[in-house]
A and B are shown apart, each in its own frame.
Chain A
Amino acid sequence: MDTRASSITNPYNGPLEGDNAFAQITHNVTRIMQAPRPPLAWYIAFAFALSLLGVFGLSLGFVVWEGIGAWGHVHPVAWGFPIVNFVFWVGIGHAGTLISAVLFLFRQNWRTAINRFAEAMTIFAVVCAAVFPGVHIGRPWLPYWMFPIPNQMQMWPQFRSPLEWDVFAVGTYATVSILFWYMGMIPDFATFRDRSTGTVRRFVYGLVAMGWRGSSRQWHRYERAYLLLAGLATPLVLSVHSVVSFDFATSQLPGWHTTIFPPYFVAGAIFGGFAMVVVLAVPAREFFGLKRIITIKHLELMAKVILATGMIVGYAYAMEMFVAWYSGAMYEQFAFLNRAFGNYAWAYWTMIFCNVVSPQVFWFKKMRTNVWVILIVGIIVNVGMWFERFVIICTSLTRDFLPANWGAFIPSPVDYATLAGSFGLFFTLFLLFCRYLPMVAMAEVKAFIPESHVHDH
């Protein structure tokens, strides 16, 4: 049977393989939570993530104490790693919503196996991203001044600033993503509640399950709400990174001032987000025995998305260069020439290799179905996407209009610690999620396994 074709065209013959009966699925997902202790690998990973999180806390504490001079920012490179990390994490956060909302609306049912933790990944990535705008500012105790909080002094944010738009775009995105994620988990929380043994667990899962009994009416409401939220979240996939790209596109800086940025950023975000899903899915299915739920076919489909979005990103890179050349604007031309051949050419070519060259292996089915290749390319693409933001943000700033201002950006050790630490936060949250929350949307998966549609045959 050609499952590859049917997985996309025929929702009733989903990509789930074998004889996973409903109970089997429930068992597979809930046993992680039910187990008295997770696998050793989880402990090792958690210890590692927790220590990275410690590094994050210490480095941010140091920055708040010392001033952001502890980072490598200089004149003229006023935005460095924190903003690079912010854009990187916001980008990662795209795949979740795309998988849950857009693919849902397009009835891509293969998404059910991965949507839950893609959504979780989105939330955690947005959490990581949200840390940075707050601490990167010179006076990190005052980020709330960017919120329109009524006050007796009538001091309001300045709504012409793209940073202000960011506040709303990211804020909305985070809110909707969390709602969507949480709502999707309610039926599964109920399963967890029912299968929990400890009092605390039963109470907590019971609380978050919000009295889910699985009645038809509840299911009806649930489906409606899910559809509505999916509809609401879909434009956000496009809007949030478009708005983030406005930070750059609306400015005057050569290398930032580019109209292609919104679609380019969105494509890049989906590209990076899917790569991150792959990076998380491969070990997760390995360690938690979910190979039969998240199958190689899922990974293959994601590899295709990575290939496609990678090509879009590559096109955007080429188009930037072309437009710079075609514009005849001296400063613009220089910015791109400098990007490719200047002091930071190594970063540019790293980006090109990671984002444009490496996904090309996915043209081959053999590569698309090899978990190791998928994992490695996923990691490479994530590195590349981080470098993309570094190239755009930092190298454009190093050389702008007046040559007397040209400078160089050399990250400080605190920069690296913050970057590594943000992964600590991400992985800590993710590992906790794996252990305590339904990693796979059981209810949704069950709806699409062949057994659900036995009467149609």
Chain B
Amino acid sequence: MNSNSQKPKYWRSLAELEADPEFNEYVQREFREPTEQVPLDAPGRRRFMQLMGASFALSGCHWREEKVLPHTTRPTGQVPGVPNSYATVMDVAGVATSLLVTSFDGRPIKIEGNPKDTTTGGGTGTFHQAAILGLYDPDRSTKVMDGDTPSTWEAFDAALLAAYQDHLKSGGAGLAVLSGSHSSPTLARLKKTLLEAQPAAAWYAYDPSFSSGRERGAELAFARPLVPLYSPSRANVIVSFDSDILSGSEPGGLGYSREVASRRDPDVEGMSRLYAFEALVTEIGSLSDHRVAVQSSRIAALLVYLEAKVAAVVGRNPSGAAPSVEALGGEKVQKVLDVAISDLLANRGKSLVTIGSAHSADAHALVHRINFLLGNVGNTVSFVEKAPQIAGGVDELARLAGEIESGKVSTLIILGGNPVYDAPADIPFEAALAKVARSFHVGLYRDETGKKCKFHAPEAHFLEAWGDARAIDGSVRVAQPLIDPLLGGRPHIEVLARFLGLPETSSLALVRKTSGLNGDKAWSQAVHSASYGPKAVAQDLGLPELTLAVAEPPELEVLFELDPAVFDGRFANNGWLQELPHPLSKQAWGNAALVAPETGKKLGLADGHLCEVTVEGRSLSIPTILSPGQAEGTLAIALGYGRTVAGVVGGFMSGMEEVEVVGSNAYSVRPSKALRIASGTVRKTGGRQILAITQDLWAIDAIGKTGQKDREDELVRETTLAEYKSEPEIIQHKVHHPPLLSLWQSPVSYEGHKWGMAVDLNKCSGCSACIVACQSENNIAVVGKSEVAKGREMTWLRIERYYKGDEKKASVRQQPVMCQQCENAPCEQVCPVGATMHSQEGLNDMVYNRCIGTRYCSNNCPYKVRRFNYRNYNLETIGITPYTPTEDRGAKLKAMAFNPEVTVRSRGVMEKCTFCVQRIQNVKIVAKNNHRPIKDGEIQTACEQACASGAITFGDLNDPNSRVRAAQKVPRAYELLQELNNRPRVNYLARISNPHPELSEDDGHKSEQHH
């Protein structure tokens, strides 16, 4: 508002009338958008409503200011208080996942997978689940900034337009656009429009997660731009090389998880066999039957060896000479590899070889070739034509930096991404950016990059605007908004459309135009099913010659990993993700150098010790965690930490409020030539750091280790398929106990419903999406780093990670543990005020109002699944509770993420998993109103819904046909600590491995003796 020059017509206070600059700033801060967008001298109802609204509540819900009128006629399908579900799509680094978002009275509160999405099977990853919190993040950018002064969208548009006009004269010379990886067809279309109008302009894409191997491997193998699609459910044998295909952050990972899991059920015929050769413990590695730890640098040798053997059998020329035993990493590696090869050859057309995204295009190409030779292409692997995508790696960023250095770029528009933070260490992008005369940044946050650009404008969250994206199979998904932009952001496509001067600038019009769908019916169908466009399956593949260089592995390889929680750093300001323990190290709030125990001990490193990792002359100080199962001579650092301008959660170094930086920035040593697998050195520097680790470390004392080893076999029961087939009762014999008698008859007969759950340990890969889903569904507080370090995290569901075997060859077991809802519950008996009670349906109901916080229930719970609010976490982390009303805008925004159906707990009360009792009730009410029984699977707990591999089954044990009843009846179903006679309602399905008969225990498989 330009009230400096002109007295306002309406005024709210003397300060405003006198145009007090302080007051202006206040107004800017509080009511930026509405007062800015409407010219002051344009009176009328809208303006009046704005000012009235503003004066009624001098702060508060400005995101609802446009909805001051109540519905006189209720829109069809909307009942106040009854949540609706809408289909939309989330695009993470160019991969779309279809989602269903629950909206409660107009505000989205929960994200779930869309079961109609064939590429995910309805599963979600951690990022998708946590996106709700990202939407309500008050640290998101709210203002257009011109340097360090607040500006307006008009000024931003004008500046952009001026730039457009300037460059038009020279055909676009000096104009550059930098974006992250996007699969959006609309963005691709606008890019094309730009390059047509200004042919000399350049569009660069840089994403730190970009995998050139994944993107270009198929092209190398078949001389055509193709994208591989796997069908692991058709594979009897899967051999995985450093492969993370089950990871939620990998393209297709969610769907592959479901498919792999579908073949891991020992109670149905045709269980698959998994081999994993890998440096770190991946998700598929933790599920595999044979896992061999080898350095990533050796994978090439293994592949060449494998290809040579396969080629010889199928009568083709091998791509290279078979490497020596030493190059493979020893006889044991070779032995397992030989067995794996024999298995592959015995299952031609029904096997699958996969490789991780960290590897080069050459390695990927060789793997595609191996699959081709094995006859897997067309069966377990198919290739689709690569759709036009905006995707690019470090070479594009380097090229851009070079162009800027040589003075060829005068205007740079950065659409998302954060290259100042995440550029490799040897690309001085920050310095280059300073040399650009006009730089624009449109992003969700005014982050490291946003601060360095001349102009910054807020981007709309994906739940706030229309968009589109492609799934891994190339099909296009339409993303519909759930809410108007809360903080005044605009999607990239809208910014671009204005920049290009297109007639239609709304995201809806842009997306719809791209779709080319005529007629409202086709369009609404596409939105509803969130998908349009067929997928093209490539046929007739050629097979060019390939060579893969086999190099001697370095003494220490430094592996840069995408973090399972904050990904490449873009989710760093998300409390749920920061607090999510790493699946292996169980570290929350930060990263560490994960070192193989042998390697670490040689250097005198132990958990928490600070070390200095040096890669290509650059050093990073980071705490260490010894990670059993990791290959000797490897060190892994997760990317995405050490953000300095992330926000009050992820770290904030400059400005008024300084927040501790979370973790160490691995980008500061990441070389552009070896983005994922580098070689380096590490040395102990002395000093320790307290890490926020949620599970005891490996390096506990000798007694603890022995105690842990003794009980692991009872807690995580397992056997081999052969043993299980010959003696199905073997799992029950893992624990022998006297007859379990109770002092009293159960007072509850469980007529009606009897809720139960089954968790299949053969399927859980530890991805942790369930933890975030539970946190989102049940309003679980974020407690912060220091409280997690103390052990006060609040997650109702945790995944217990156990290592089996010795440190060198440890394999991983993941066991999700939530409240077991015991029938003979020890917690219920000891509460002096009866705050935890048994329901008629067998749930342990927690009555928060009645709880006085003696914590006796927690002490008496053998599973320790109860969590106590030692502090007023919601007040401390969000700034709001139902009992302490606040006028703070940010706090109110954060509070919108709460699920209104779940009590927000205050300080001093105990809480725990309820089996999502609110979901049970919702379905019960609907079923009762319709006079029908509840269908099996109609009630899904949040964890069950999120689980991509379907490891969790919930249902009614009284229903004779329910899946959970069937699951609890299989011979491998067991109760955790059943000898205590708590009669838990959760059953675990024992882990049954399917090792190759030729491989003994020493070869990566550990069978427990029957006793």
Contact = CB atoms under 8 A, between A and B. Distances in A.
Interface stretch (A7-15, A142-150, A365-373): A142-150
B872 to A, nearest CB: 6
A412 to B, nearest CB: 9
Contacts of A408: 791
Interface residues of A, number: 56
B695 interface: yes
| Max count, chain B CB within 10 A of own CB: residue among A69, A73, A155 | A69
B856 A163 contact: yes
A257 to B, nearest CB: 10
B528 interface: no
B830 A162 contact: yes
A260 interface: no
| Max count, chain B CB within 10 A of own CB: residue among A139, A164, A330 | A139
A341 B791 contact: no
A400 interface: yes
Interface stretch (A74-82, A91-99, A275-283): A74-82
A49 to B, nearest CB: 30
Nearest to B694: A404
Given A78-B858, A157-B832, A405-B864, A67 B798 contact: no
A402 B863 contact: yes
Interface in A346-404: 397, 399-404
B830 A251 contact: yes
B798 A79 contact: no
Contact of B852 (A78, A143, A250, A399): A143
B867 A156 contact: no
A216 B67 CA distance: 90
B871 A66 contact: yes
Nearest to B863: A402
Nearest to A401: B862
B870 A69 contact: yes
B853 interface: yes
A343 B701 contact: yes
B580 to A, nearest CB: 16
Interface stretch (B125-133, B199-207, B702-710): B702-710
Contacts of B714: 330
Contact of B707 (A72, A161, A247, A403): A403
A158 B832 contact: yes
B189 interface: no
Contacts of A143: 852
B817 A404 contact: yes
A66 B853 CA distance: 15
B20 interface: no
B826 interface: yes
Contacts of A78: 855-856, 858-859, 868
B855 A161 contact: no
B192 interface: no
B190 to A, nearest CB: 50
Contacts of A163: 830, 832, 854, 856
A432 interface: no
Contacts of A405: 800, 863-864
Contact of A406 (B704, B869, B908): B704
A139 B850 CA distance: 10
B867 A75 contact: yes
Contacts of A75: 791-793, 858, 864, 867-868
A67 B790 contact: no
B704 A338 contact: yes
A160 interface: yes
| Max count, chain B CB within 10 A of own CB: residue among A158, A163, A250, A402 | A402
B802 A403 contact: yes
Contacts of A74: 790-792, 870
Contacts of B853: 68, 137-139
Interface string A175-191: 00000000000000000
B957 interface: no
A336 B868 CA distance: 27
A342 B863 CA distance: 21
B847 to A, nearest CB: 10
B909 interface: yes
Given A74-B792, A404-B801, A404-B817, A161 B696 contact: no
Interface in A244-270: 247, 250-253, 256
B831 A404 contact: no
Contacts of A416: none
B910 interface: yes
Interface string A148-176: 00000001111011111001000000000
Contacts, number: 178
B791 A337 contact: no
| Max count, chain A CB within 10 A of own CB: residue among B712, B715, B834, B909 | B834
Interface in A121-150: 136-140, 142-143, 145-146
A401 B975 CA distance: 14
B158 interface: no
A402 B800 contact: yes
Contacts of B695: 404
| Max count, chain A CB within 10 A of own CB: residue among B712, B833, B909, B980 | B833
Contact of A402 (B715, B833, B860): B715
A46 interface: no
A436 interface: no
B434 interface: no
B790 A404 contact: no
Contacts of A341: 703
Contacts of A145: 833, 850, 852
Contacts of A142: 852
A418 to B, nearest CB: 15
B292 to A, nearest CB: 26
A71 to B, nearest CB: 8
Nearest to A397: B859
Interface in A49-87: 66-69, 72-76, 78-79
A138 B710 contact: no
Contacts of B715: 402-403
Contact of A157 (B833, B859, B860): B833
Interface in B744-801: 787, 790-793, 798, 800-801
Contacts of B868: 73, 75, 78, 138
B980 to A, nearest CB: 6
Contacts of A342: 701, 703-704
Contacts of B15: none
Contact of A79 (B792, B855, B980): B855
A38 interface: no
A325 interface: no
A138 to B, nearest CB: 2
A407 B864 CA distance: 11
B969 interface: no
A330 B869 contact: no
A157 B704 contact: no
A331 interface: yes
A137 B854 contact: yes
Contacts of A146: 832-833, 852
Contact of A401 (B696, B858, B977): B977
Contacts of A222: none
Contacts of A161: 829-832, 856
- 9 pairs of A and B residues whose beta carbons are closest in the complex: A138-B853, A138-B908, A69-B870, A404-B800, A78-B855, A69-B871, A158-B834, A74-B791, A139-B908
13 contacts: A138-B868, A138-B910, A143-B852, A155-B850, A158-B833, A160-B830, A161-B830, A401-B711, A401-B863, A401-B977, A403-B696, A404-B696, A404-B802
Given A68-B908, A251-B856, 17 more contacts: A67-B871, A74-B791, A78-B858, A137-B853, A138-B855, A139-B852, A139-B853, A146-B833, A146-B852, A158-B832, A163-B830, A247-B856, A337-B707, A338-B707, A401-B863, A402-B863, A404-B800
Interface of B: 695-696, 700-701, 703-704, 707-708, 710-712, 714-715, 787, 790-793, 798, 800-802, 815, 817, 826, 829-834, 850-856, 858-860, 862-864, 867-872, 907-910, 976-977, 980
